[in-house]
Structure 1
């Protein structure tokens, strides 16, 4: 009897133990599930939990439905956080602008982004994104923003996502500033440089869902700008000397000669017309500025190329491949010959008595003296109004040569900062109308004759 009782007690104890273990396991599962549920309400945790389910997007891909259902935590740079879903932006053009505290140009471009957002409040959503890989701490971000506020009285109006891993994975890039575009149908259009965020491209995307923007996700020479392979297959070739159009896969490099296996490769990649002009005709343009150039009357298209370096149609590559050893002098001579043939231009340095515009400032100039806000310069002729805020007047004067018919002469030492906007139709106005607009804003351009050196650019006969 006693043995049966002892056996019964042992069985009961064993049963209780098993039940206790099962209860603990169930309770643990409930705690884990509760914890996971709690984590899924936080956008950062959600990114870490499911980003492995989402792969890097390619231009033309449609964002999956799961993307729109995910929460998004936005920071207002003042410590306030707000939670939304990505789906709250659905139906708009969405631009994710990637930035970091170490990227000065990223931060100084934010006022332009704010202006663009203000022009399209219902059709556009611009969200700043600070990637976790930047290793920006809250203290570093606060210190950076405090510096801009103290210096320029500037508070960022756009919202940012901090410690991002999801968007950095979805829209890959290896250089900033970089902007990821999603059209109103939820199709990823690609990553671009920030200068592509302008009214022309936004209007195109709104109307057609497409644009001719230069799309680049990952630059192949990011670690070493001069590490650019031949842009054209050299197999079977003994000599190549040619200009080509912009290629979106490489950051600009510097004039560079590489000798390998008895061959020579000389490249200038993704450089502006003005940069090529400088390197091709170094003796002719030495110590002179754009404002010292004189153009044939029918050369307005060349002046546009000189000014509008933000238009990828005005960015070019030069490549020289020779199955022999090549000196720098030889390389530049080949460059000169190719430049002359490709652009059909003749460039000469001259000295003489020529007509120029002498710059002076009248009593209206006070109205454009800067109020000291965050600097902005937007020289996008024909795309957006040109806007100069808290910029030296020389920034404007150097670019004015595109709009007028003579070189400009001004005192670089008299260089106050200004706030001025040139209307989008400024280039379509007549020369007298342009001069009148400038005069009304305090900048007087008086035609005079001066003895001076200048660069004459003419059509190749």
Structure 2
């Protein structure tokens, strides 16, 4: 299926120029020696194709660095295929498997044989194998990483896969402005242990501070570390939903996100953040430092209070009657039944279509709850996947029109009342918090 001879420079391919190349910085022109390089593109169907890299000049080139040992890389391939389909000849996505990954043809074949058996899925994008060229030009130390080259032949930046959306790509092709891409420099805490604090603690007796997403840091699990009588507690780059669940575990125990209820005084931006499990906008970093010993329990008390102060929102478990929607599926309707395939959850604003493919039912219900104004009741424990393709403007429709569109796809929502327990988010005045 594959061979690993693809990226051995040929004598006639400008190899002398390549030997003098150094890592590129954003804004640098791609050197002629690189454009002149011959590349072997390997397809997962078994096909191979030789090209000159210059054949891609004039397109937005997305180099998707991956390995067989990176599940999120493979799970993200269908999203990159959607980008390729949407923009066709304006964009070229090329997967890049680096030599340092030590991925053998046998290992690659075995990995994708499993995806073929489980999901009837074979990637359609081409990949470069055994790469040293692009790995050296666009250095990175975690996967997946997307290297971006603009149509003018300049290196834009290395990006997180999460900022490669149809909306952002379309905007970049129109304006050439790259500030919506999230730059991914070398990750500074690959081991995650002993991650440096958000705020320098030199000379401090105490600090409790919360910020948004911390660039180029992996997530840090909440735990107190002790050093020379001082305590440091960090919650690193966690989604807001997860932060609240960590801070209020008793409130969320056994509760489904589809049953979340929000006080009318809470703004839509907060609600959107609670249901954001993809973008860095929905991620936050918390640091507590105390020049003394502190228990884990007390550290979480400070964390909980910091959340309330940051967002002016607390949450409690309530029991009672609230307005809701009862969701039911029209079993005779063909549109929502899955055809299998890889999991896709591509529901970003600006997409040509919103696509959920082979998404578990509870995931679909959670998405629907995030775009409606009431909790959703659905009595099913089925793990069956669902396929759902909605129009690109779905997120901008009124509640009534969203419900009508969903019914056209066999998903019916009926106004009703929910009797039971639920997490209740409510607005607070920070001056009353402890």
TM-score (norm 1): 0.86
* Aligned 8 A contact 1:291 1:401 in 2: yes
User: In structure 2, what is the equivalent of residue 386 of structure 1?
Assistant: 354
User: In structure 2, what is the equivalent of residue 338 of structure 1?
Assistant: 306
One of 112, 117, 123 as aligned partner of 2:84: 117
* Aligned 8 A contact 2:77 2:123 in 1: yes
5 Å matches for 1:40-439?
Answer: 40-41=11-12, 46=15, 51-209=18-176, 210-222=178-190, 224-299=191-266, 300-363=268-331, 365-382=333-350, 385-439=353-407
Cα offset, 1:341, TM superposition: 0.8
Q: How far, CA to CA, are the matches of 2:394 and 2:46 in structure 1? A: 42
Cα offset, 1:106, TM superposition: 1.6
User: Mean alpha-carbon deviation: is it higher for 142-151 or for 156-165?
Assistant: 142-151
User: In structure 1, what is the equivalent of residue 408 of structure 2?
Assistant: 440
Cα offset, 1:384, TM superposition: 5.8
Q: Deviations over 1:87-137 (max 9, x none)?
A: 111111110001112222222221221121111122111101111111111
User: In structure 2, what is the equivalent of residue 32 of structure 1?
Assistant: none
Instruction: From the superposition, tell whether residues 206 and 367 of structure 1 become closer, same or farther in structure 2 (CA, over 3 Å).
Output: closer
Q: How far, CA to CA, are the matches of 1:351 and 1:283 in structure 2? A: 14
* Aligned 8 A contact 2:335 2:388 in 1: no
* Aligned 8 A contact 1:98 1:178 in 2: yes
Cα offset, 1:62, TM superposition: 2.5
Q: Deviations over 1:142-164 (max 9, x none)?
A: 22223323333323211110000
User: Mean alpha-carbon deviation: is it higher for 360-369 or for 281-290?
Assistant: 360-369
Cα offset, 1:364, TM superposition: 5.0
Q: How far, CA to CA, are the matches of 1:414 and 1:365 in structure 2? A: 17
- The secondary structure found in structure 2 opposite 1:368 is coil
* Aligned 8 A contact 2:68 2:108 in 1: yes
Q: How far, CA to CA, are the matches of 2:370 and 2:394 in structure 1? A: 11
Q: Deviations over 1:330-371 (max 9, x none)?
A: 111111111111111121211112222222112553332112
User: In structure 1, what is the equivalent of residue 421 of structure 2?
Assistant: 453
* Aligned 8 A contact 1:97 1:178 in 2: yes
Q: How far, CA to CA, are the matches of 2:416 and 2:294 in structure 1? A: 47
Q: How far, CA to CA, are the matches of 2:106 and 2:282 in structure 1? A: 41
* Aligned 8 A contact 2:167 2:349 in 1: no
* Aligned 8 A contact 1:308 1:380 in 2: no
Two-structure CA RMSD over aligned residues (Å): 2.1
Q: How far, CA to CA, are the matches of 2:18 and 2:220 in structure 1? A: 35
- The secondary structure found in structure 2 opposite 1:447 is strand
Instruction: From the superposition, tell whether residues 385 and 297 of structure 1 become closer, same or farther in structure 2 (CA, over 3 Å).
Output: farther
User: Can you give the 5+ residue segments of structure 1 that lack an aligned partner in the other structure?
Assistant: 1-36
* Aligned 8 A contact 1:226 1:256 in 2: no
Q: Deviations over 1:402-455 (max 9, x none)?
A: 111111121342343221122222121111111111111111122222321111
Q: How far, CA to CA, are the matches of 1:441 and 1:38 in structure 2? A: 52
* Aligned 8 A contact 2:318 2:422 in 1: yes
Q: How far, CA to CA, are the matches of 2:379 and 2:9 in structure 1? A: 64
User: Mean alpha-carbon deviation: is it higher for 186-195 or for 176-185?
Assistant: 186-195
Q: Which has the higher helix share?
A: 1
Q: How many residues align?
A: 420
Cα offset, 1:382, TM superposition: 4.9
User: Mean alpha-carbon deviation: is it higher for 320-329 or for 414-423?
Assistant: 414-423
Q: Deviations over 1:290-340 (max 9, x none)?
A: 112101234322221012222222211111111111111211111111111
Q: How far, CA to CA, are the matches of 1:75 and 1:273 in structure 2? A: 40
- The secondary structure found in structure 2 opposite 1:40 is coil
Larger radius of gyration: 1
User: In structure 1, what is the equivalent of residue 5 of structure 2?
Assistant: none
User: In structure 2, what is the equivalent of residue 39 of structure 1?
Assistant: 10
Q: Deviations over 1:368-407 (max 9, x none)?
A: 2112223322232455633111222221111211111111
Q: How far, CA to CA, are the matches of 2:422 and 2:12 in structure 1? A: 66
Cα offset, 1:38, TM superposition: 9.0
Q: How far, CA to CA, are the matches of 2:283 and 2:261 in structure 1? A: 22
Instruction: From the superposition, tell whether residues 452 and 51 of structure 1 become closer, same or farther in structure 2 (CA, over 3 Å).
Output: farther
Q: How far, CA to CA, are the matches of 1:365 and 1:259 in structure 2? A: 58
* Aligned 8 A contact 1:131 1:165 in 2: yes
TM-score (norm 2): 0.91
Q: How far, CA to CA, are the matches of 2:111 and 2:9 in structure 1? A: 32
* Aligned 8 A contact 2:38 2:53 in 1: yes
